[in-house]
């Protein structure tokens, strides 16, 4: 049975729960809620196992804080014997308009501290990441406040269908592969 590691990036703590930077956690929480599975605290992450169409998805929400995400991802890749080809990182992205979803198989960290940590820890930039656009509606010097800020009322109303699409993309990644998933979803 093929295994996949799906890592949602975010920060632990109540103050971060509904922030833009925690969209990776939010997507995995929605998936777990829909499928009736729950996370348990384990080494370096909250972990849940999800089975779908003969595949095993190990869902993790690193408890290392964003800047050390690579430590948790590396640990769970080793512990579950999952190759880099079967890893998918869920992350927020300022460079994409709000709600835009883009699956990529490689790239720079784009200034994202979570991706920077992963790339430094794994010494590799060729891993799949599902980028969730959060837009860039902030004034000069206010990027951190924006990223760590709560969703606006309009954004909250628009999130559910985008999160639903992200969940479909996770399932597709594990069943039909990254290339076909990119073809099916990246231009929507």
The residues carrying an active-site annotation are: 21
Rounded CA separation 146/37 (Å): 31
**Largest Cα–Cα separation, the chain:** 49
For 39, residues 6+ apart whose C-beta sits below 8 A from its C-beta are: 28, 29, 32, 46, 47, 48, 59, 61
For 140, residues 6+ apart whose C-beta sits below 8 A from its C-beta are: none
Q: What is the DSSP track for 44-57? A: TEEEEEEEETTEEE
| C-alpha pair distances (Å), 80 with each of 83, 131, 155, 185 | 9, 24, 36, 28
Return the ∠ at Cα 156 (arms to 31 and 132), rounded to 5°. Answer: 60
């Amino acid at each position: 049975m093929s295994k996949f590691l799906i890592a949602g990036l975010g920060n632990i703590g109540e103050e971060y729960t509904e922030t833009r930077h925690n969209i990776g956690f939010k997507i995995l929480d929605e998936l777990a809620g829909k499928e009736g599975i729950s996370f348990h605290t384990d080494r370096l992450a909250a972990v849940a196992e999800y089975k779908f169409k003969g595949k095993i998805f190990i869902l993790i929400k690193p408890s290392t804080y964003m800047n050390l995400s690579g430590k948790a991802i590396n640990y769970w890749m080793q512990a579950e014997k999952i190759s880099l080809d079967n890893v998918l990182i869920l992350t927020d992205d300022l460079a994409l308009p709000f709600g835009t979803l883009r699956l990529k198989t490689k790239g720079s960290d784009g200034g994202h501290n979570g991706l920077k940590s992963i790339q430094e820890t794994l010494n590799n930039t060729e891993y799949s990441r599902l980028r969730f656009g959060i837009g860039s509606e902030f004034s000069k010097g206010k990027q951190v406040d924006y990223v760590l800020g709560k969703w606006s009322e309009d954004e909250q109303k628009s999130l559910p269908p985008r999160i639903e699409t992200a969940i479909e993309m996770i399932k597709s990644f594990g069943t039909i592969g990254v290339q076909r998933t990119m073809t099916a979803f990246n231009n929507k």
